[in-house]
Structure 1
Amino acid sequence: MSLVNDPASVDSTFRRIADIVHELYSRDVDSDTVIAELAEHAAVEVPGALYAGVTVTRNAKHIDTPAATHHWPILLDEIQQRHREGPCLTAAWEEKTVHVADLTRDERFPLYARDVLAQTPIRTIMAFQLFIAGETMGALNVYAETPNAFGPESREIGLIFAAHSSVAWNAARRDEQFKRALASRDAIGQAKGILMERYGVDAVQAFALLRKLSQDANTPLVRVASDLIEGTLPARQDG
C-alpha cells in the first residue's frame, strides 16, 4: 500500500477500515476469524507495515498470539514472554501506543531487542493498545524489516484500526458467550425435563438432583446435563 500523504487519502482509508470491520462483523463469523482477518488487514492498511499480529495477556506473564500474518510476530511474543518486556506488552498494559523506530538504537527493552535482532529481521515496531472486555489486555502490532518504516500516518491509521478492531473483536466474543449461555441453558432445561418425567419431581427438585450429580461427579453442571441427554450418565445414583 502506498503511503498516505493527504487528508483526503487518510479519510478514505478510515472509511475503508470502517467498511472492512462492518463487513467482517456482518458475516457473523467466530471471534478467532474476526481477529485473524483484522490482523491481515492491518498489515495492508497501516502504511509501512510488512507484518501484523495481536498480543494478548492477562497478567503480563503469560502471552498469547491469537492472530499473526507471519511467524515473526509469534516469535516476538515468545521473546516478550521470556524476558517479560517489550513494546507490545507495554502498549497493552501501560501506554496507548509504543513506537520503536529503530530497534538497533532503542534502549527501552534491552533483552527483548537483543534477541529480536539476533533471531529475526524485524527492525521497526508500532504497537497499539486494544481494549478487551474483562481482565485481558492486548495490543495490535505492526512490524517492518527496515528502520523508521512508520510515520505519522501509520500512527494515525493504526490507532483508528485498533479502535475498530477492539469493538469488532469484543462484539464477536460477546456473541459467542451469549450463544454458549443459551446452549447451556437449553441443555440444563432438557436434563431437568428428563428427570421430572422419569421421577415425577418438580423443576426445583429436578435441578437439585442435577446439581447433586454434578457435585458427586465433580463435573460442570452443563456437562452433566449434556451427558444425561445423550444417555451416557445415569439419571440417579444409589444412596
Structure 2
Amino acid sequence: MTRPVPPTGHENRASPTAAWDLADETASLLADVAVQLHRQPGVGNALRAAVGHLVDLAGCDAATGALFARRRWRLHTSVATGAVAEEADAHQVRLREGPAFTVMRERTSVVVPDAVTDVRWPRWRALIAPAGVRAAVAVPLDLGTHLTGVVTAYWTGAGRPGPDAVEAAELLALHASIGLTVARESTTLREAIDARHRIGVAQGILMERYGLSAQQAFDVLRRYSRDNNVKLGQVAREVVETRSLPGWAAGPTNRPPSGP
C-alpha cells in the first residue's frame, strides 16, 4: 500500500481543501486496513498486517506490535517490521520499562518526541538511543479481558512524529483492536471445534480397544485428565496419536476403569 508523503506539523493544514483531501485519503487507507485485517488467519498474522500498515499511515521508519496477557503482562505475541524496532521492544519486555509499559499502565497514547533527551525511562533510553531510535509513538490496543496490547511507531532517521502521525496511529490501533479481537475469537472457535472432534475420535478409539460405551469412554478421558492434571483436549490428542490411553495396554485384563 503506497501512502502519500505525510504532513509535518501544521504545514499541510493551511488549505481547507488540502485538509479535506488528507482526511479522505486517510479514511480510504483505513478502510483498506480494516478489510485486510479481517482477511488474516490468526492473531499473529493480523498483528503483523497491522504494524505493516502503521508504517504507511504514520510515516514512521519501523513499527512493532506486542500482545500481553493481562495477568502479570506475560508476552503473548510480538511482531516487528525491522531489527532496530524489534530490539527496542525486546528491551522493554526485559526491563519492564518503556513507552509500551506506560501505555499498558495508563491506557493512553505515549509520544516520545526525542528518545535521546527523554528522561522517563532511563534504562531503556540508554539501550535504544545508541541503536538509532530517535522518536516513537505507542498506542494501546483494546482486546477485552484476557489480552492487552500496544502498537508502536519508531523513527530512526530525521523525521519526528507530528500530530497527524499520532492521530493515524490511534486510528490504526482502533481498527487493529477490532481485527485482532475477531481473529482471536475465530481462532478460539476453531480450536474448540478441533478439540471436540479429537475428543470424539479418542472416544471411538477407546470404545473399540476396550469395549466401552460412548459415555464410559468419555468418563475415562475426563478422569485421566483430572487425575493427571492434563487438559482433556491434550489427553484426546495423545489417544488419537498413540491409539491408546497413556499408560494402558490393549486387552481385557488392562481395561481402564470407567466412571467419574
Q: Same fold (TM over 0.5)?
A: yes
Q: CA RMSD in A?
A: 2.5
Q: TM-score, normalised by structure 1?
A: 0.86
Partner of 2:22: 9
Which segments of 5 or more consecutive residues in structure 2 lack a partner in the other structure? 13-18
Partner of 2:16: none
1:95 aligned onto 2:107: yes
1:136 aligned onto 2:147: yes
Within 1, Cα distance between the matches of 2:141 and 2:154?
16
SS at structure 2 position matched to 1:134: coil
Distance of aligned partners of 1:148 and 1:188 in 2 relative to their CA distance in 1, 3 Å threshold: same
Distance of aligned partners of 1:62 and 1:75 in 2 relative to their CA distance in 1, 3 Å threshold: farther
Distance of aligned partners of 1:61 and 1:180 in 2 relative to their CA distance in 1, 3 Å threshold: closer
Partner of 2:43: 31
Higher mean alpha-carbon deviation, 209-218 vs 10-19, is at 209-218
One-letter amino acid matched to 1:213: Y
One-letter amino acid matched to 1:23: Q
One-letter amino acid matched to 1:86: G
Task: Measure how far apart 1:194 and its partner are.
Answer: 3.4
Distance of aligned partners of 1:99 and 1:60 in 2 relative to their CA distance in 1, 3 Å threshold: farther
Partner of 1:228: 239
SS at structure 2 position matched to 1:129: strand
Within 2, Cα distance between the matches of 1:25 and 1:227?
33
Within 2, Cα distance between the matches of 1:217 and 1:57?
29
Task: Measure how far apart 1:215 and its partner are.
Answer: 4.5
**Structure 1 vs Structure 2: percent identity of aligned residues?**
28
Task: Measure how far apart 1:146 and its partner are.
Answer: 4.1
Task: Measure how far apart 1:63 and its partner are.
Answer: 4.2
Distance of aligned partners of 1:106 and 1:234 in 2 relative to their CA distance in 1, 3 Å threshold: closer
Within 2, Cα distance between the matches of 1:24 and 1:138?
16
Which segments of 5 or more consecutive residues in structure 1 lack a partner in the other structure? none
Within 1, Cα distance between the matches of 2:146 and 2:184?
14
Which of residues 66, 70, 81 in structure 1 aligns to 2:78? 66
One-letter amino acid matched to 1:2: V
1:83 aligned onto 2:86: no
Is the 2:206–2:244 contact (alpha carbons within 8 Å) kept by the matching residues of 1? no
Q: Give matches, 1:135-214, under 5 Å.
A: 135-146=146-157, 149-199=160-210, 201-214=212-225
Which of residues 28, 31, 36 in structure 2 aligns to 1:18? 31
Task: Measure how far apart 1:46 and its partner are.
Answer: 0.9
Within 2, Cα distance between the matches of 1:60 and 1:224?
28
Within 2, Cα distance between the matches of 1:188 and 1:15?
46
Within 2, Cα distance between the matches of 1:60 and 1:228?
34
Within 2, Cα distance between the matches of 1:15 and 1:195?
56
Is the 2:37–2:176 contact (alpha carbons within 8 Å) kept by the matching residues of 1? no
Is the 1:64–1:77 contact (alpha carbons within 8 Å) kept by the matching residues of 2? no
Task: Measure how far apart 1:190 and its partner are.
Answer: 2.2
Is the 2:43–2:184 contact (alpha carbons within 8 Å) kept by the matching residues of 1? yes
Within 2, Cα distance between the matches of 1:229 and 1:85?
45
Distance of aligned partners of 1:60 and 1:74 in 2 relative to their CA distance in 1, 3 Å threshold: farther
Distance of aligned partners of 1:221 and 1:41 in 2 relative to their CA distance in 1, 3 Å threshold: same
Within 2, Cα distance between the matches of 1:65 and 1:201?
42
Which of residues 126, 143, 146 in structure 2 aligns to 1:114? 126
Task: Measure how far apart 1:216 and its partner are.
Answer: 5.5
Distance of aligned partners of 1:61 and 1:172 in 2 relative to their CA distance in 1, 3 Å threshold: closer
Higher mean alpha-carbon deviation, 10-19 vs 57-66, is at 57-66
Distance of aligned partners of 1:143 and 1:64 in 2 relative to their CA distance in 1, 3 Å threshold: farther
Within 2, Cα distance between the matches of 1:33 and 1:166?
13
One-letter amino acid matched to 1:223: Q
Within 2, Cα distance between the matches of 1:76 and 1:65?
15
Within 2, Cα distance between the matches of 1:214 and 1:55?
33
